[in-house]
C-alpha cells in the first residue's frame, strides 16, 4: 500500500504516505462547496505534474553533472464543467541559465516524458514553459 486517505468531514481529507509517515491535508475548493484552506485534490494532480517534471529533470541533471538546486515551477490549473475536470495545466519552469543547449534539449525531453505526464488523460492540455534564467 502506498498511502492512506482519511475523510475528516467538512470536505477535508488527510493523506498519509505510509512509508515515510509524511502527510498533507486537502480541502474542496471554495467554488465547489469547500473551505479552500488547503490543496484541493485536483490541485495535487496539477502540482504532481510539476513535481514529477522537476524530479525527473533532477535525476537526469545529476547524471549530466548539472545542479538544478532551487529550480522552481509555478503551476496554474484550469477547470472545466460537465463533467467537472481539469482541462489545462500550465507549468512555468525557472531553470539555471548556465546549462548548454545540448543539455537543455535532454532536460526538456526528460520533462516531457515524466511518468505523471504520461499518466494524465490526453484531453488535459499541458502547457510547459522552460525559462532559463540567472
What is the 8-class DSSP label of residue 120? S
* Cis peptide, bond prior to residue 83, ω within 30 of zero: yes
Both 112 and 83 in one domain: the answer is: yes
Both 129 and 106 in one domain: the answer is: yes
Both 76 and 12 in one domain: the answer is: no
List of long-range contacts for 79-83, beta carbons under 8 Å, 24+ apart: 79/42
pLDDT tens by residue, the chain, 134 residues: 999 999 999 999 999 999 999 999 999 999 999 999 999 999 999 999 999 999 999 999 999 999 999 999 999 999 999 999 999 999 999 999 999 999 999 999 999 999 999 999 999 999 999 999 97
Predicted local distance difference test score (pLDDT) of residue 134: 77
Strands 125-133 and 85-96: parallel
Q: Residue 73: CA atoms inside 13 Å, Cβ hemisphere, count?
A: 24
* CA angle (43 as vertex; 40, 45 as ends), nearest 5: 120
Question: What total number of domains does the chain contain?
Answer: 2
Helix (H, G, I), strand (E, B) or coil at 26: strand
Structural domain harbouring 31 = 1-39
The CATH number of whichever domain residue 107 belongs to comes to: 3.30.300.20
Both 5 and 32 in one domain: the answer is: yes
Amino acid at each position: 500500500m502506498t498511502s492512506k486517505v482519511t475523510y475528516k468531514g467538512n470536505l477535508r481529507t488527510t493523506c498519509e504516505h505510509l512509508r515515510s509517515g509524511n502527510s498533507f491535508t486537502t480541502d474542496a475548493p471554495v467554488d465547489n462547496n469547500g473551505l479552500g484552506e488547503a490543496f484541493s485534490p485536483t490541485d495535487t494532480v496539477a502540482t504532481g505534474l510539476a513535481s514529477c517534471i522537476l524530479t525527473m529533470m533532477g535525476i537526469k541533471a545529476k547524471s549530466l553533472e548539472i545542479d538544478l538546486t532551487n529550480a522552481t515551477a509555478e503551476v496554474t490549473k484550469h477547470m472545466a464543467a460537465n463533467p467537472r475536470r481539469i482541462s489545462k495545466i500550465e507549468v512555468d519552469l525557472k531553470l539555471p541559465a548556465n546549462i548548454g543547449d545540448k543539455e537543455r534539449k535532454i532536460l526538456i525531453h526528460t520533462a516531457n516524458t515524466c511518468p505523471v505526464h504520461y499518466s494524465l488523460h490526453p484531453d488535459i492540455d499541458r502547457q510547459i514553459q522552460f525559462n532559463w534564467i540567472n
